[in-house]
């Protein structure tokens, strides 16, 4: 989800310490972590004694020469509401405080995706969200070139139908399970930003030693004039954003009008297989014999799109995937010739595709008109889109502004859904992601707190043949990160959508993260993962594979045969394979491979899969080879 482009420039790191103050996350309605020493910190006049009192427990500390102070209150059991009193040169009283389980909800847009963005069953979830012991704090989306001590804003919000529409859907489902199963208050600290890569959430200092990121990290650390650079970038990006969201100035070009002369425009065949760039205008005429209410379908165009019929606007979207079908009043149609005009732009990567196969048409009554084929086209009518300077992708820039200011706030752990923006460099992700987790834990000073993450869903067109896949490579890197202590992974290879990077099924994501939390965070002896590759052996023309997390048996859902396996011989060419289950082992073979040496499962952008364990968790994608591609 696109957010305002803000830069954290005016807030200093240590502080003036002229009066008692605490980070904004210590505020009314907050949730503090149970059964964990509770860290408080803040600033006051140097040398001032500061007393913290919570639920009958008090600690005294003294502000140092820079005015900084910190203190730990002893562990407390779940409960509330309580009041926190902080007394120093002045007094701060924080009300309606609960003690329970606190989680950081980090990542990019699939973690950021809100309940009101029409996730599955969203209306019922919002209507039934009056659960006052669940609270969310949303960290503002800002960047900084240096570690900050303060957030630019944020408040704790109590779960109810008024507040919950803006809650992360994944975190909401996770929080509900934590609350209902453990019978404790739950606090979610949302620190996420759509489209951002893991290196932005990792300190630049650490990235100097992480393969693939050393150069970018050193550039960040060496730049002497960041405030000037960022101020200039903000002005440029604000002008760019204004053009993107504008719905009026684009009318000055007249390309939406019926009479517009497009004779000098190029022609293009739609749907297009090659990406289009910049501000794209498209026009097409079509004839109707009778007038009725109409429905238009042209797939999922660029994130900023406006459509006109006979000069009248019928559709616009700003950073949304809806609607897929556009309903048109019959009064906008004319018997005979009509003109459809579309203006679209994709700001993310300036690569736009219009329409999709069998999904590009307009229906009028019983008449269905195919809109694929030749259109008039121009991407020079308006000035070029121009580059967006993605400083929120820069090494450390989000860690500095969205993690460092909250580091130390006692938590149960973190849930994380990210990786889409690192797919192109999947081969670096395991070390990058591992470094990020380690740096967060170091910053919190709370030991190896549980870190639970989502493996990327299936996405893009399904291939008819076994394929190499960057998406599969990123998933493999995520699986490898399970080597980091106290981590757990939720596989969702079965709930993605080919044409939407944002699957609407967030409930299963939250549930599978919670299953991992039960084991990793709460030490419950449960099967918390789908079947995971353990070992294999070659027996003649067959490969026999053993698995963890399958000891209670298997489920083969939706298909008569087991789907998703491929084997290869010494030529490294993979062929779809047959498979059979034998207890916790699976036997795999292909008539086209007499001497198999490698096997893969669900190794594709969007694989067809069917295997689950008895607990209903999908088998984790894997490969036994390490061939490069």
Q: Are 33 and 411 in contact (CB under 8 A)?
A: yes
User: 521, 417, 367: which is closest to 201 by C-alpha?
Assistant: 417
Q: Please give the structure tokens belonging to residue 388.
A: 């967006």
| CA–CA distance, 225 with 141 (Å, rounded to integer) | 22
Q: Are 178 and 165 in contact (CB under 8 A)?
A: no
> Is 2's pLDDT higher than 50?
no
For residue 371, the SS3 value is coil
**Domain 7-213+395-520 classification at class level:** alpha beta
User: 210, 619, 202: which is closest to 440 by C-alpha?
Assistant: 202
pTM of this structure = 0.88
Torsion, CA 590, CA 594, CA 596, CA 602, rounded to 10: -10
- Cβ neighbourhood burial of 109 (10 Å; 0-12, 13-18, 19+): buried
Tally the C-alpha atoms within 13 A of residue 142's C-alpha that lie toward its C-beta.
23
| CA–CA distance, 549 with 526 (Å, rounded to integer) | 9
Q: Which superfamily does 249-378 belong to?
A: Galactose-binding domain-like (2.60.120.260)
Residue labelled with tokens 């992480």: 210
Sign, CA dihedral 35-41-47-49, equals: negative
User: 589, 583, 495, 480: which is closest to 538 by C-alpha?
Assistant: 589
User: 119, 115, 132: which is closest to 172 by C-alpha?
Assistant: 115
How many H helices and E strands in the chain?
10, 35
Pairing of strands 373-378, 266-270: antiparallel
User: 423, 489, 467: which is closest to 574 by C-alpha?
Assistant: 467
For residue 58, the SS3 value is strand
Q: Give the percent of the chain with pLDDT over 90.
A: 84
Q: Are 166 and 116 in contact (CB under 8 A)?
A: yes
Which residue ranges make up each domain of the chain? 7-213+395-520, 249-378, 532-623
| CA–CA distance, 301 with 38 (Å, rounded to integer) | 48
User: 107, 207, 192, 195: which is closest to 142 by C-alpha?
Assistant: 192
Distance of CA 67 to the CA centre of its chain: 38
> Is 8's pLDDT higher than 70?
no
pLDDT band, very low/low/confident/very high, at 323 (cuts 50, 70, 90): low
- Cβ neighbourhood burial of 226 (10 Å; 0-12, 13-18, 19+): middle
Q: What is the mean pLDDT of the chain?
A: 94
Residues 386-408 have pLDDT tens digits of 887 789 999 999 999 999 999 99
Residues 109-119 have pLDDT tens digits of 999 999 999 99
- Cβ neighbourhood burial of 276 (10 Å; 0-12, 13-18, 19+): buried
Instruction: Please give the average per-residue pLDDT across 159-183, as a whole number.
Output: 98
| CA–CA distance, 98 with 191 (Å, rounded to integer) | 21
Q: 3-state DSSP helix/strand/coil percent for the chain, to nearest 5? A: 20, 35, 45
Distance of CA 612 to the CA centre of its chain: 25
pLDDT of residue 355: 81
User: Does residue 509 have a cis peptide bond before it, meaning omega lies within 30 degrees of 0?
Assistant: no
Residues 364-385 have pLDDT tens digits of 988 899 999 999 999 999 999 9
Q: Are 615 and 490 in contact (CB under 8 A)?
A: no
Residues 204-256 have pLDDT tens digits of 999 999 999 999 999 999 999 999 999 999 888 888 888 888 888 899 999 99
pLDDT band, very low/low/confident/very high, at 164 (cuts 50, 70, 90): very high
Residue labelled with tokens 């019928």: 314
For residue 177, the SS3 value is helix
Residue labelled with tokens 């109707």: 288
> Is 498's pLDDT higher than 50?
yes
Q: Which residues lie below 8 Å from residue 265, measured CB to CB, with a gap of 6+?
A: 281, 283, 376, 377, 378
> Is 4's pLDDT higher than 50?
no
| CA–CA distance, 111 with 100 (Å, rounded to integer) | 22
Which DSSP letter does residue 399 get? Answer: I
pLDDT of residue 17: 57
> Is 356's pLDDT higher than 90?
no
Residues 407-461 have pLDDT tens digits of 999 999 999 999 999 999 999 999 999 999 999 999 999 999 999 999 999 999 9
Of residues 544 and 629, more confidently modeled = 544
Pairing of strands 451-454, 413-417: parallel
Sign, CA dihedral 321-110-628-464, equals: negative
């Amino acid at each position: 989800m696109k957010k305002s482009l803000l830069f954290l420039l005016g807030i200093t790191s240590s502080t003036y310490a002229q009066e008692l103050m605490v980070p904004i996350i210590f505020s009314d309605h907050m949730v503090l972590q149970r059964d964990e020493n509770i860290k408080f910190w803040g600033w006051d006049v140097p040398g001032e004694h500061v007393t913290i009192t919570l639920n009958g427990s008090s600690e005294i500390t003294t502000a140092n020469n820079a005015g900084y102070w910190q203190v730990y209150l002893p562990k407390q059991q779940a409960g509330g509401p309580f009041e926190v009193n902080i007394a120093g040169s002045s007094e701060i009283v924080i009300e309606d405080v609960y003690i329970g389980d606190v989680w950081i909800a980090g990542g990019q847009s699939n973690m950021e995706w809100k309940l009101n963005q029409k996730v599955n069953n969203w209306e019922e979830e919002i209507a039934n969200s009056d659960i006052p012991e669940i609270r969310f704090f949303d960290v503002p989306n800002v960047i900084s070139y240096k570690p900050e001590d303060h957030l630019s804003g944020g408040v704790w919000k109590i779960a109810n139908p008024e507040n919950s529409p803006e809650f992360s859907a994944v975190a909401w489902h996770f929080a509900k399970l934590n609350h209902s199963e453990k019978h404790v208050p739950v606090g979610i600290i949302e620190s996420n930003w759509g489209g951002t890569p893991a290196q932005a959430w990792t300190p630049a200092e650490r990235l100097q030693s992480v393969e693939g990121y050393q150069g970018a990290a050193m550039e960040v650390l060496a730049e002497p004039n960041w405030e000037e650079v960022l101020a200039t970038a903000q002005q440029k990006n604000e002008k760019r954003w204004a053009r993107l969201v504008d719905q009026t100035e684009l009318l000055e070009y007249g390309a939406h009008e019926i009479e517009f002369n497009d004779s000098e425009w190029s022609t293009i065949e739609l749907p297009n297989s090659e990406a289009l760039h910049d501000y794209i205008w498209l026009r097409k005429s079509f004839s109707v014999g009778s007038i009725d209410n109409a429905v238009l379908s042209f797939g999922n165009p660029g994130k900023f799109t406006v459509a006109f019929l006979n000069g009248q606007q019928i559709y616009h979207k700003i950073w949304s995937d809806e609607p897929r079908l556009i309903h048109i009043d019959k009064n906008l149609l004319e018997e005979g010739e009509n003109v459809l005009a579309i203006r679209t732009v994709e700001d993310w990567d300036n690569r736009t595709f219009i329409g999709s196969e069998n999904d590009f048409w307009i229906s009028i009554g019983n008449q269905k008109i195919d809109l694929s084929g030749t259109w008039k086209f121009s991407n020079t009518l308006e000035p070029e889109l121009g580059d967006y300077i993605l400083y929120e992708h820069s090494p450390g820039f989000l860690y500095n502004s969205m993690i460092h200011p909250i580091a130390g706030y006692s938590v149960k752990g973190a849930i994380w859904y990210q990786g889409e923006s690192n797919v192109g460099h999947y081969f670096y992700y395991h070390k990058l992601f591992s470094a990020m987790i380690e740096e967060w834990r170091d910053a919190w000073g709370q030991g190896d707190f549980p870190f639970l993450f989502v493996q990327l869903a299936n996405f893009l067109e399904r291939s008819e043949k076994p394929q190499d896949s960057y998406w599969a490579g990123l998933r493999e890197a995520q699986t490898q990160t399970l080597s980091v202590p106290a981590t757990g992974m939720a596989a969702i290879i079965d709930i993605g959508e080919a044409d939407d990077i944002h699957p609407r099924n967030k409930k299963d994501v939250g549930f599978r993260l919670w299953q991992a939390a039960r084991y990793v965070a709460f030490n419950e002896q449960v099967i918390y993962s789908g079947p995971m590759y353990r070992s294999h052996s070659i027996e003649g023309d067959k490969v026999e594979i053993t698995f963890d997390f399958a000891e209670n048996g298997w489920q083969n859902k939706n298909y008569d045969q087991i789907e998703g396996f491929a084997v290869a011989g010494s030529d490294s060419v993979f062929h779809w394979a047959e498979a059979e289950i034998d207890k916790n082992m699976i036997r795999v073979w292909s008539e086209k491979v007499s001497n198999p040496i490698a096997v893969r499962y669900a190794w594709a952008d969007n694989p067809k899969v069917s295997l689950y364990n008895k607990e209903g968790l999908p088998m984790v994608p894997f490969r036994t080879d390490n061939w490069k591609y």
